[in-house]
A = this chain, B = another copy of it.
Amino acid sequence: MYRTHTCGELRIEHAGTQVALSGWVQRSRQFGGMTFIDLRDRYGITQLVFNMETDPDLCKQANDLGREYVIQVKGSVRERSNKNPNLPTGDIEIETTELNVLNKSDVPPFTIEAETDGGDDLRMRYRYLDLRRPSVQQNIILRHRLAQEARKFLCDNNFLEIETPFLIKSTPEGARDFVVPSRMNAGQFYALPQSPQTFKQLLMVSGYDRYFQIVRCFRDEDLRADRQPEFTQIDCEMSFVDQDDVLNMFENLLKHLFKFVMGKDLGDVERMSYADAMRLYGIDKPDTRFGMTFTELNDLAQNKGFKIFDAAELVVGICAEGCAGYSRKQLNALTDWVKRPQIGAKGLVYVKYNEDGSFKSSVDKFYNQEDLKAWADKMGAKPGDLLLVLSGATEKVRKQLGQLRLHMGSELGLRKADEFKALWVLNFPLLEWDEDSERWFACHHPFTRPQKGFEQIENWGDIKADAYDLVLNGNEIAGGSIRIHERDLQEKVFDLLGMSKEESESKFGFLMGAFEYGAPPHGGIAFGFDRLCAIFGGAESIRDFIAFPKNNSGRDTMIDAPSPIDDEQYTELHIQPGAELVE
């Protein structure tokens, strides 16, 4: 037996007990003829004491131990004379009588501390050491707890965890599939699932009523900073539900996670239409931890001689509370910020609502004090506030002002990492027009239910869907919809999407077939689990919440994957290297 207790377990009431502990040498100090070693494992740290006077041989052995050595010790627990109130085991230490080195350690290539000196590449190559750092370990444990609590909630609500296949059929649409050549079926390929969408719908057709799975999904997309080719979803589906049933269930799931993982009360989850989100926040996933909502100023700002505003489809502003004192330098910096290519605004109009009630603006030439007072009143501003106004084409200017709003929120400290605000965004459009391919795409996915009466709507862009996103602190953490459960409606929507009958039959014939045998009304949702973990952990990047993530080229540099395969494997799989590789 390697240990009787873990390194986080011993307390003052164990004093006098003989124990065995195993773990890693965290650090070692020599002090007045004594050697003190902090022994670490996942559960905590326990202090070991070696005495040069009473056992010089053992003490010398202890002095030879390096950092990260793995050791086993035996000894008796005793009360410390110098207690450490910051450590759960800080009341005791081990008077060591036996020491066994279980494994040595080379000097790690970076320090195993919360703040390490290792760069990203080095830490990824030695991920097994990076994973020892307490900050990363806390993230991985947080992920474990979130998974268990999510499961508990779902099981308690009669959801069944049902595994769906990973080797499925390639139906390229939107994102690219990862594919797997079949050895037994020459010239044919499996695809890895982008989500278990069709399978969970089939489970509803099969009568399983409530399904969930915490499941890996795969998308062969060009990787942006915080995207992974494989990612995890909490994937759920329910039968005999309308939209409200789904929203209620999953805001309760989120509240449960807050309560039992964070010990926090999430509070109410607001519901907002997509149109309102765009109108008030310029984005479909508003950060509602702070206000600073948009005010449209066309009626007040146009036809006063300022050509730029007059020519604009939309003049719209936000009120930055208490910022009237911004210096010229600060205002210039803001102007430069919105003019960056990532934002793309042509300029920024500001209006200072001075403490004395007067106004100072960058457009004083066109607007008198009364005009500006009217703006301020409409925006609910008070003396001391700063109005920031943009203009242009509606969609574009909303997006720009939305980004400026988030920027100001950050600047003013309104986006607190330990404050949480969730929101449902509803009534999404069913379709969006893609300029490049000149066709309509499904905003959510082609199985999403159009809202009633959609056939009467002339402009397809105005058709709304029974789709919903759950937004937390400005991040989309979940998205879902009520699904189509009738063959004829599904055919109509495939038709809207420009899919021929042959194509829809070959790709999704099995699903439309299933709809002919008593498919119940159903709907569902999927949470992006990596992102959810990162937000709960108060972090921006998902990478440190994944045990073995890939880098931006989709590589695992630790195991060095992907890698070439043997000629024999090519042959068996009925494939050859691409022409560009063999020339």
A contacts, CB < 8 Å to B: 1-3, 6, 22, 24, 40-43, 68-70, 72, 102-106, 108, 126-129, 131-132, 137, 140-141, 143-144, 147-148, 151, 155, 160-170, 172, 176-192, 198-199, 202-203, 205-209, 216, 218, 220, 222-223, 229-230, 232, 240-242, 245, 485-486, 510, 513-521, 546-548, 550, 553-556, 558-566, 569-581
Contacts A155-B148, A564-B189 known; A520 to B22 CB distance under 8 Å? yes
Which B residues touch A143, using CB under 8 A? Answer: 162-163
* Most B CB within 10 A of own CB, among A166, A554, A559, A564: A559
Which B residues touch A192, using CB under 8 A? Answer: 166, 180
Shortest Cβ distance from residue A101 to the other chain B in the assembled complex, whole angstroms: 10
Let me know if B216 and A553 touch, CB within 8 A: no
Contacts A206-B129, A578-B575 known; A148 to B161 CB distance under 8 Å? yes
Contact of A208 among B131, B519, B550, B553 (CB under 8 A): B131
Let me know if A561 and B172 touch, CB within 8 A: no
Beyond A179-B180, A185-B553, 10 extra complex contacts between A and B, CB < 8 Å: A1-B245, A2-B240, A2-B521, A151-B151, A166-B166, A170-B569, A184-B554, A185-B554, A575-B576, A576-B578
Which B residues touch A198, using CB under 8 A? Answer: 559
Let me know if B41 and A209 touch, CB within 8 A: yes
CA distance A178 to B40 in the complex (A): 39
Let me know if A578 and B569 touch, CB within 8 A: no
Question: What's the dominant secondary structure at chain A's contact region?
Answer: loop
Let me know if B574 and A179 touch, CB within 8 A: no
Which B residues touch A513, using CB under 8 A? Answer: 126
Closest residue to A136 on the B side, CB-wise? B206
Which B residues touch A144, using CB under 8 A? Answer: 160-162
Which B residues touch A576, using CB under 8 A? Answer: 575-579
Shortest Cβ distance from residue A397 to the other chain B in the assembled complex, whole angstroms: 36
Which B residues touch A240, using CB under 8 A? Answer: 2-3, 22, 72
Let me know if B182 and A181 touch, CB within 8 A: no
Contacts A1-B245, A160-B144 known; A519 to B182 CB distance under 8 Å? no
Copies of chain A in the complex: 2
Closest residue to A577 on the B side, CB-wise? B187
Which B residues touch A485, using CB under 8 A? Answer: 103
26 A-B residue pairs with Cβ-Cβ distance under 8 Å, sorted by A, are A2-B242, A41-B209, A105-B518, A128-B514, A129-B517, A131-B206, A140-B160, A144-B160, A166-B192, A166-B218, A167-B550, A168-B559, A169-B556, A170-B563, A172-B566, A179-B180, A180-B180, A181-B181, A184-B223, A186-B578, A202-B548, A216-B216, A574-B580, A575-B575, A575-B578, A576-B576
Contacts A518-B68, A518-B104, A548-B165 known; A573 to B564 CB distance under 8 Å? no
Which B residues touch A104, using CB under 8 A? Answer: 516, 518
Which B residues touch A205, using CB under 8 A? Answer: 128
Shortest Cβ distance from residue A166 to the other chain B in the assembled complex, whole angstroms: 5
CA distance A486 to B547 in the complex (A): 23
Let me know if A169 and B24 touch, CB within 8 A: no
CA distance A80 to B578 in the complex (A): 72
Which B residues touch A575, using CB under 8 A? Answer: 181, 575-578
* Most B CB within 10 A of own CB, among A1, A42, A167, A569: A167
CA distance A245 to B40 in the complex (A): 21
Contacts A554-B184, A575-B577 known; A519 to B166 CB distance under 8 Å? no
CA distance A242 to B3 in the complex (A): 11
Let me know if B168 and A561 touch, CB within 8 A: yes
Contact of A572 among B147, B176, B202, B208 (CB under 8 A): B176
Let me know if B167 and A103 touch, CB within 8 A: no
Shortest Cβ distance from residue A42 to the other chain B in the assembled complex, whole angstroms: 4
Let me know if B578 and A163 touch, CB within 8 A: no
Which B residues touch A184, using CB under 8 A? Answer: 222-223, 553-554
